[in-house]
A and B are shown apart, each in its own frame.
Chain A
Amino acid sequence: MSLLQIVDVSRAFGGLLALDQVSISIEKGQLLSLIGPNGAGKTTLINLISGYYRLDKGKILLNGKDISNQKPHVLRKAGIARTFQRSELFSSMTVVENILVGLHNGIRTNLLSAGIGLRKAREEEEAKKKKAMEILDFIGMLELRDARAIDLPLGLRKVLELGRAIAIAPKVLLLDEPVGGLNETEALHLEQIFKRICYGLEVAILLIEHNMNFVMRVSEKIFVLDYGKKIAEGTPQEVKTNPIVIEAYLGKQDARTSRC
């Protein structure tokens, strides 16, 4: 049984079919990429898996259990984590506080105990702070723990987003353009963290990216979407030489140049 199974999933907006019977299988600890021209439906798929959009048709199974159409905060408990295309850090808080929000559900203290500062509550808060430090160490941002999120440059923001997503201790990590806008060094840094997550923590990663070098280098398997349909899947080598994929990317290229 696969870790995450997306079965014949469809979603339309108005009259436009954004996803058309897409099926994808993800195993534990795999590092997978989702690529395709702009508007192919990649972010829509992530939104469907993480509960931000409802499915029109099909279902999504996590370890065999149907998790279709749950709310995002419920899916988090099930073990789905995601990042956003546009950095959605908590800009008013510090780096460590951002991680602590990710640890939110792990904190069992109820509201009343927190309010009166019960010793148990205080101890749990301390324990969580320590856990947050561990996570920051894992992603290499420990010394920046008190920096304000709003001050961070793009590269560090992306790393922090990743750290926040790991804090949930997910089974599946959905990353929307995690290295978008980063230079080679920064992308390499993130790549190493990905590998540690997949092999070390046995978390499956599905990432959306346009940076083809990165995708080819990093992925075990690639899924290709075009106009809402899955048109190919396979190893980087297979996908790179697949004529349908080339057509999808280049075909669009031709259409664009011919209009000018």
Chain B
Amino acid sequence: MIGLKKAFDIKIAPIFVFLLVVPLFLRQYHLVVLNLVLIYVIVIMGYNFVLGYTGLLSLAHAAFYGLGAYSTSIFIVTLKIPFYISFVGGGIFTALVSLLICFLLLKTDLSGLYLGMVTFAFAEALIWIFLHWEKMTGGAFGFAIGSKYTFQGSPYLKNYYLSLLCAFILVWFGANLINSKVGRAFKSIRDSEEASMAMGIDTSSYKLFSFVLSAFYAGIGGGLYSIVMRQIYPGNFGLHESLKQFSMLIIGGQGTISGALTGAFILPVLTEVLRSVSVLQDLFYCLILVLFIMFMPKGISGLRLKKRSGLGEKVLRSRNIQTLD
């Protein structure tokens, strides 16, 4: 893990400077696209905690993203809570809801496929609420944040910097967690829950923490999304979005930070590039996802992982032991 000062010194610095400066040269439309990339960086970073590192099949992430979007919007417009509090509050609210869901699930200690189905059901139930609780959410007509509620004077630029700040903080925090005992605990649960318990890790609590943490990230991402787009619909957060997020994680590479970042960057950019052939877009993504699951389950960053085990491999080879690649 790295303290705040160190975080600036590493390779991150040039990328960060680039991200700081580039919006001044971009047109409004591309600025929004880059903004969405940053939002997905947060969201996928969060998804990585629960699915990539802890190995829990959660299909509720897109719904939490939606919950963050709706709660932030409702806090700002309906409850007239000040902007920044609403935004963070949206993330916290989403985390609290996920905590509630977890308590229901914890007594049964669900895992694997069963968890996948339950989170799927919860996600659909949440979408149903977005669609049918018309008084609060506007139902099928969606919910709008009027421009008077957001930044005045170059709002696109200010939205972008807000997203950049959040992305930076959350990625830094997340990376630190991953490189500490927390990350190791997550990975140990994924690799062998029994052995993890034998090591003294309270796996139930860590699974809960992983779930709630990722929901918080999704909630913040959703909040940012609602601020940037200023108009959200229930359909934005359903199965389609779930698949999109899942694709980003798999294609980028689950279980690594660089993977999450890669996936979050590639897909929105690719979407833009392929905008002209938008009809084929959906099909294209689904097929790519299928291909990746079949042939490159470790994603793009998985290709780089193979190179990194260098030192350990050398020692094993010197003892005449064949390594697994």
Which A residues are closer than 8 A to B by beta carbons?
Answer: 50-52, 71-73, 76-77, 81-82, 84, 88-95, 97, 100-102, 104-105, 107, 109, 111, 114-119, 121-122, 125, 143-148, 150-153, 156, 164-165, 168
Contacts and interface: CB of A to CB of B under 8 A. Distances in A.
Given A73-B202, A77-B200, A117 B195 contact: no
A107 B182 CA distance: 10
Contacts of B107: none
A210 B236 CA distance: 60
A122 B180 CA distance: 9
B311 A52 contact: no
Interface in B172-191: 172-174, 176-177, 180-182, 184-185, 187-188, 190-191
B194 A153 contact: no
A152 B57 CA distance: 28
Contacts, number: 145
B223 interface: no
A90 B180 contact: no
The 9 closest A-B pairs by CB, nearest first: A147-B312, A76-B200, A72-B197, A114-B180, A146-B312, A88-B195, A90-B191, A105-B200, A117-B1
Nearest to A164: B199
Given A81-B198, A100-B181, A148-B323, 17 more contacts: A52-B197, A73-B199, A73-B202, A73-B203, A76-B199, A88-B195, A89-B195, A91-B191, A95-B312, A101-B185, A104-B181, A117-B6, A121-B1, A125-B1, A151-B309, A151-B312, A151-B324
B176 A115 contact: yes
Interface of B: 1-4, 6-7, 172-174, 176-177, 180-182, 184-185, 187-188, 190-192, 194-203, 209, 255, 309, 311-313, 315-316, 321, 323-324
**Which of A84, A88, A89, A164 counts the most B-chain CB atoms under 10 A from its CB?**
A88
Contacts of B184: 93, 97, 100-101, 104
A184 B247 CA distance: 49
Contacts of A152: 316, 321
A121 B172 CA distance: 15
A114 B176 contact: yes
User: Binding site of B, secondary structure by majority: helix, strand, loop or mixed?
Assistant: helix
Contact of A111 (B172, B177, B199, B255): B177
Contacts of A93: 184, 187-188, 191
Given A101-B185, A146-B311, A117 B199 contact: no
A88 B191 CA distance: 8
Contacts of A119: 3
Q: Which one of A89, A119, A144, A147 has the highest number of Cβ atoms from chain B below 10 Å of its Cβ? A: A147
Contacts of B181: 100, 104, 107, 109, 114, 125
B167 to A, nearest CB: 15
A119 to B, nearest CB: 7
20 contacts: A81-B198, A92-B190, A92-B191, A95-B312, A104-B185, A104-B200, A115-B180, A116-B4, A116-B173, A117-B4, A117-B176, A121-B180, A146-B315, A148-B323, A151-B312, A151-B316, A152-B321, A156-B321, A164-B195, A165-B198
Contact of B1 (A89, A122, A146, A153): A122
